[in-house]
């Protein structure tokens, strides 16, 4: 276990060593609340003269957070891009703005979150809401920013989700498009497993980039309070969903880490020399997960490439265009 005290000391040491290192470019998605907000607050003080792009729904609602970040680091250049991350077209529009003005991206951080219930909920692009927020939008961000990440001397990609929690997926329905296959546990498992398989595919093909899939553990965020049953649910499903929401909220507030402490760990992982180029699964204690589990079988069967091709097909269908 990497102790929190070591994380804090390492982050402070990194900040001191980076005082003259201007020009770092960071892209954050999922940073207007919870773990992402904590990570952003911890990371902005570790660079001088850095540019941070923040993707979120409302620039107006970001005003208070912006003022705090700029007070923590007056040398910070902060660019907010109003983006509905549940829409692939919006991800494309936001990344196009970055591609138009930047020559590189050094750090890409993603923690946009959605709590799946036992039935899919679809966006206007035909994708399940939680699948697109926790998986497709993140893959699209990486895909679109690869040209700039490749130009960085030390590019790093971090997705906060369920690294190390992979398991056996439905191989005939990777995206759980059949509602009969969709459930809370199935969605969580698929998000975790295909994230890691996608990162393994990318690490094999882009050997200078670190792709890190982390599991944050219990964190005191409002994720459970946002859980509601679909409108089509019966009375029993609504009662069970409300009970789960209440229990989860109590649990994280009693046993969870603070967003700032978890954010410090994510900032440490992003900047630490412990994690070089390649694909990494990292647990809530900032330790690499090395036990392959089901991944060994999936690697042997070529699933990293299968999942990548599946991703391309999903994007083509959602956008109605050819990649």
Q: Are residues 264 and 246 in the same domain?
A: no
For 118-173, the pLDDT digits (tens) are 789 999 999 999 999 999 999 999 999 999 999 999 999 999 999 999 999 999 99
Which of 212-226, 232-246, 287-301 is predicted with the least confidence, judged by mean pLDDT?
232-246
Rounded Cα–Cα distance for residues 11 and 42 (Å): 9
The larger pLDDT score, comparing residue 256 to residue 190, is at 190
140/251 same-domain check: no
- Which of residues 232, 255, 278 is at a domain's end? 255
Residue 194 has pLDDT above 80, yes or no: yes
From residue 301, alpha-carbon distances to 99, 198, 298 in Å are 35, 14, 5
Same domain, 56 and 94: yes
Question: Looking at residues 1-26, what average pLDDT do you find?
Answer: 89
Number of domains in the chain: 2
pLDDT digits (tens, 9 = 90+) for 114-126: 988 778 999 999 9
CA distances (Å), origin 162, targets 96, 130, 182, 259, 272: 28, 14, 18, 16, 20
Tell which wins on pLDDT, 229 or 264.
Answer: 264
Residue 172: DSSP 8-state: T
Q: Does the pLDDT at position 278 exceed 70?
A: yes
309 and 194 assigned to the same domain: yes
- Kindly tell me if the per-residue pLDDT of 323 is higher than 50: no
Q: Which residues of 144-166 are buried (b: 16+ CB within 10 A; e: fewer)?
A: bbbebbeebeebbbbbbbbbbbb
Q: Does residue 100 carry a pLDDT above 50? A: yes
* Confidence band, pLDDT 50/70/90 cuts, at residue 19: low
DSSP letters spanning 216-247: --SB--STGGG----TT--HHHHHHHHHHHHH
Residue 240 has a pLDDT of: 64
Tokens of residue 11, six digits: 């982050």
**128 in the same domain as 78:** yes
Nearest Cα neighbor of 49 from 71, 15, 81, 73 is 73
Domain containing 244 equals 221-255
Identify whether the C-beta of residue 281 lies closer than 8 Å to the C-beta of residue 198: no
Q: Confidence band (pLDDT; 50, 70, 90) for 314?
A: very high
Residue 322 has pLDDT above 50, yes or no: no
Alpha-carbon distances of 230 from 45, 239, 247, rounded to whole Å: 41, 12, 19
CATH of the domain at 171: 3.40.50.720
187 and 94 co-located in one domain: yes
Mean pLDDT for 43-66 is 96
Residue 210: pLDDT band (50, 70, 90) is: very high
pLDDT score of 118: 73
Rg (CA), the chain: 19
Residues 211 and 243 grouped into a single domain: no
Which residue's entry shows tokens 């967003």?
259
Residue that is last in its domain, among 255, 273, 303: 255
CB atoms within 10 A of CB 258: 13
The model's pLDDT over 286-303, given as tens digits with 9 standing for 90+, comes to 999 999 899 999 999 999
Q: Whole-angstrom Cα distance, residue 300 to residue 315?
A: 26
| Summary mean pLDDT of the chain | 91
CA distance 54 to 127: 23
> In this predicted structure, which of 30-34, 45-49, 75-79, 247-251 has the lowest mean pLDDT?
247-251
Q: Which two tokens stand for residue 320?
A: 């109605």
């Amino acid at each position: 276990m990497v102790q929190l005290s070591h994380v804090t000391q390492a982050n402070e040491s990194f900040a001191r060593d980076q005082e003259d290192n201007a020009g770092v470019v960071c892209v954050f998605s999922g940073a207007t609340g919870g773990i992402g907000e904590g990570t952003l607050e911890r990371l902005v003080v570790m660079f001088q003269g850095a540019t941070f792009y923040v993707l979120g729904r409302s620039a107006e609602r970001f005003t208070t957070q912006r003022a705090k970040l700029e007070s923590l680091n007056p040398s910070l250049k902060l660019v907010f891009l109003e983006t509905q991350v549940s829409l692939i077209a919006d991800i494309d529009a936001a990344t196009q703005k970055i591609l138009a003005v930047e020559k590189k991206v050094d750090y890409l951080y993603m923690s946009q979150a959605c709590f799946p219930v036992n039935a899919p909920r679809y966006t206007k692009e035909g994708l399940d809401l939680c699948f697109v927020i926790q998986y497709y939008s993140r893959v699209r961000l990486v895909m679109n920013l690869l040209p700039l990440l490749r130009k960085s001397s030390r590019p790093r990609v971090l997705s906060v989700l369920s690294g190390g929690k992979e398991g056996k997926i439905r191989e005939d329905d990777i995206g759980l498009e059949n509602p009969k296959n969709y459930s809370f546990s199935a969605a969580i498992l698929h998000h975790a497993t295909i994230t890691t398989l996608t990162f393994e595919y990318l690490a094999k093909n882009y050997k200078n980039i670190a792709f890190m899939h982390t599991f944050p553990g219990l964190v005191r965020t409002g994720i459970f309070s946002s859980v509601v049953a679909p409108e089509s649910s019966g009375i029993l499903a609504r009662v069970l969903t409300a009970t789960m929401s209440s229990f989860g909220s109590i649990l994280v507030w009693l046993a969870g880490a603070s967003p700032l402490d978890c954010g410090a760990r994510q900032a440490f992982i992003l900047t630490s020399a412990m994690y070089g180029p390649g694909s990494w699964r990292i647990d809530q204690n900032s330790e690499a997960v090395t036990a392959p589990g089901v991944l060994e079988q999936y690697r042997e069967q070529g699933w990293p490439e299968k999942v990548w091709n599946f991703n391309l097909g999903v994007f083509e269908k959602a956008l109605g265009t050819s990649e």
